[in-house]
Amino acid sequence: MVTARAFRWPSALRGKKPCIWYGGDYNPDQWPEDVWDEDVRLMLKAGVNLVSVGIFSWAKIEPQEGLYDFAWLDRIIDKLGKAGIAVDLASATASPPMWLTQAHPEVLWRDERGDVCWPGARQHWRPTSSVFREYALSLCRAMADHYRDNPYVVAWHVGNEYGCHNRFDYSDDAMHGFQRWCKKRYATIDAVNEAWGTSFWSQTMTEFDQIMPPRYIGEGNFMNPGKLLDFKRFSSDALKDFFKAERDALADITPDKPLTTNFMVAASNAPVDYDDWKGEVDFVSNDHYFTPGEQHLDELAYSASLVDGLAGKNPWFLMEHSTGAVNWRPINYRKEPGQLIRDSLVHVAMGADAICYFQWRQSRAGAEKFHSAMLPHAGEDSQIFRDVCELGKDLKTLSKHGILDTHLRQSPIAVVFDYKSQWATEQSATPTQEVRHWTESLAWFRALADLGITADVVPMGGDWDSYRAVVLPSVYVLDAANAKRVRDYVVAGGRLFATSYTAIADEHDQVGLGGYPAAIADVVGVRSEEFVPLGNDYEAGMDHVDLDNGAVAHDLVDAISSVAPGVQVLASYRADAWSGLNGMPAITLNQFGEGQAAYLGCLLGERGLALSLPAVLDAMGLNYSKADDRNEVLRVERTDAKQENGFVFYFNRTRGLAMVQLEGRALIASHAQVNDSEHTAALEPNGVIVVAI
């Protein structure tokens, strides 16, 4: 069993008090040195106390093989440190320099057709290349040796966003790595054949060297699902092994400096298995970029909650987010007034003790020149910079009042997120391409928020069975060990919500037999014989099904053929007789051991869930807000270890004015008006109030 690294947080500079870290990526090598003093002046004005340096600076640090130039980096680190600004120093290995790839084109990754990813962007390296690893580790050791005693470097920033661009590599290096990975995992080729079901389509292998990556097989064809799922596992592990090699090269020389790498946790993003990676860092860090539109706040809170779940309620570091527009969407919308401060405080509310941006000064050239920054093209006299300064003051206020002594208070309900289930639902040979694990997880988080419950989002490997109630939202992959956890949890008195498309397959993507959801059929007390996908892609098709509680199912419903004795049917379908669904159970509740298990045999979306859940919550004895409509305010609480002191954050979820009864003394009010005499506040759109309790 792998032991997780002990939690270690970057220490404050000598003579400084610990506080919320605040700053962003800083790329001084993009600017002439006469700009650096101006940068430091404005950083101090904004309240910046930490910057990440050198992330994409390999070519500047090592302009020729074996020739290192640290002089410029020394000057800027010294300038920052003497001003009281700490440095999170990168290993600088995220993108290799041109001299390396020109001399060793074999380090470049290949796509599924065998085409080379040529230099010209970033992350154009393959994690299984021994040649690239040798060069990268040489740089890591040189960096660590040079900065081992530097008092201004408080942490190592290892790599950058592993798998953002090089998640999958189909080269021969990757093929050999995949073969070794399969041999380690399965020991025998017969076990691989059994796991992947290779008797189908005559795919049986007799030697490990017959295993290939899932390379291009022609348009409209279908890759073996078991192989696909394992290749995603392998790809995550290959990147993790490369990270660990870099981490260990740095740690061997600088054991006193904590190390991290920036995850990319977002509702729709699962490039690697962060549930597996979380124990490999000294502290969890994340990069998150907002989703434009009406999901903006809820998706941000959902993702931040998942990061807190990965961090195990230890403090975590928001390494990147944006002050405004990004540069990589077809349309790059700006942030609305108030959202710069509001978004940052959502991360703080969810457990972040560090708030950083990409980047400090907005670039003039390059692919990210239109990506917003703390200091925009418009300069110091700009609303973005004024908001950056205001946020800096807000974070100092929270630090002064003791927020570092608190953590996100545990919710009564956990929504489980599972990376393997997300990967499996991404495959093309499924009942419907309209269903993904992440969309159902986010819908549940939002629906519970509509009912006044701010759920915790917890990875499958986390302690979700310590919660009063647990949601398994289309957790497609459920292996025997986790099925036992579910069973033991409910037997002991837990309350379970399971949905359609849950417990369909095991860890090899092999379907359980006897009806869905086979692995926990006895727990939920229902049996479904087939899926009923819903759509409108043919004439007279059925794109929705009504429930008798007023909700509407979409995308997928279960044909529940039987329920166990004693199961309560809380809602049924209303449909035309020809559909075979009319009167069929849609939502059920089963007593199992000392606990209860609700089964929602359809996908209802946020509004359908918010409409349907009160009856289930009432039956389970769980409290919720009985508001007539969508709850206007997202309430999040951070508390100390004794749950005696803390902070309550109130965020307006609407486009209108939201009123809130305050539970303590207001410390921060952004786009909000506080009435101290009545202990109430009016939150404008994108408004936030933070009170001390």
Domain CATH code at residue 567 = 3.40.50.880
Q: Which of 203, 236, 195, 194 is nearest to 222 (CA)?
A: 203
Within 8 A by CB and 6+ apart from 242, the residues are: 127, 133, 136, 159, 162
Residue 512 lies in a domain: yes
pLDDT of residue 3: 82
pLDDT of residue 154: 98
pLDDT of residue 538: 86
User: 646 and 612: one domain?
Assistant: no
Helix (H) or strand (E) holding 252: helix 225-253
Residue 183 lies in a domain: no
Could you count the other beta carbons within 10 Å of the beta carbon of residue 274? 24
Residue 202 lies in a domain: no
* Total count of domains within the chain: 3
- Residue 156: phi and psi, rounded to 5, are -100, 135
Residue 211 lies in a domain: no
Does residue 665 carry a pLDDT above 60? yes
pTM: 0.97
The CATH number of the domain where 671 resides is what?
2.60.40.1180
User: 341 and 438: one domain?
Assistant: no
User: 433 and 521: one domain?
Assistant: yes
Q: How far is CA 557 from CA 499, 536, 599, 602, in A?
A: 10, 15, 12, 4
Q: Which residues pair with 511 in a beta bridge?
A: 505
Residue 15 lies in a domain: no
Give Cα 137 to chain centroid, integer Å: 28
Lowest mean pLDDT among 133-147, 215-229, 298-312, 623-637: 623-637
User: 422 and 556: one domain?
Assistant: yes
How are beta strands 646-652 and 602-603 bridged, if at all? unpaired
Q: Which of 17, 66, 35, 45 is nearest to 389 (CA)?
A: 45
Marked catalytic residue, from 62, 280, 320, 684: 320
Residue 649 lies in a domain: yes
pLDDT of residue 541: 84
Select from 352, 382, 404 the last residue of a domain. Answer: 404
Average pLDDT for 184-203: 97
Average pLDDT for 341-357: 98
User: 273 and 380: one domain?
Assistant: yes
Mean pLDDT of the chain: 97
Q: Which residue has the higher pLDDT, 3 or 554?
A: 554
User: 272 and 145: one domain?
Assistant: yes
Average pLDDT for 151-155: 98
User: 553 and 667: one domain?
Assistant: no
User: 400 and 291: one domain?
Assistant: yes
Average pLDDT for 598-603: 98
pLDDT tens digits along 2-48: 689 999 999 999 999 999 999 999 999 999 999 999 999 999 999 99
The whole-angstrom separation of Cα 442 and Cα 432 is 19
Residue 9 lies in a domain: no
User: 397 and 506: one domain?
Assistant: no
pLDDT tens digits along 220-278: 999 999 999 999 999 999 999 999 999 999 999 999 999 999 999 999 999 999 999 99
Does residue 423 carry a pLDDT above 60? yes
- Which segments are annotated as binding site for substrate? 122, 160, 328
Does residue 531 carry a pLDDT above 80? yes
pLDDT of residue 105: 98
pLDDT tens digits along 374-402: 999 999 999 999 999 999 999 999 999 99
Share of the chain above pLDDT 90, in %: 97
* Residue 437: domain span: 413-620
pLDDT tens digits along 443-467: 999 999 999 999 999 999 999 999 9
Residue 242 lies in a domain: no
Could you count the other beta carbons within 10 Å of the beta carbon of residue 34? 7
The tally of CA atoms less than 13 A away on the side-chain side of residue 553 is 29
pLDDT of residue 30: 96
Q: Which of 287, 41, 46 is nearest to 157 (CA)?
A: 287
Does residue 174 carry a pLDDT above 70? yes
Average pLDDT for 676-687: 95
pLDDT of residue 310: 98
User: Would residue 320 show up in a list of annotated catalytic residues for this protein?
Assistant: yes
Q: What is the full DSSP assignment across 567-603?
A: -EEEEEEE--GGGT-TT-EEEEEEEETTEEEEEE-EE
User: 132 and 108: one domain?
Assistant: yes
Does residue 645 carry a pLDDT above 60? yes
Within 8 A by CB and 6+ apart from 510, the residues are: 195, 197, 226
- Which segments are annotated as binding site? 122, 160, 328
Select from 620, 642, 660 the last residue of a domain. Answer: 620
Angle at CA of residue 506, ends 501 and 512, nearest 5°? 70
User: Would residue 594 show up in a list of annotated catalytic residues for this protein?
Assistant: no
pLDDT of residue 628: 66
User: 373 and 521: one domain?
Assistant: no
Q: Which residues pair with 361 in a beta bridge?
A: 375
pLDDT of residue 627: 65
Average pLDDT for 511-532: 97
Does residue 1 carry a pLDDT above 60? no
pLDDT of residue 539: 83
User: 595 and 668: one domain?
Assistant: no
Select from 342, 372, 404 the last residue of a domain. Answer: 404
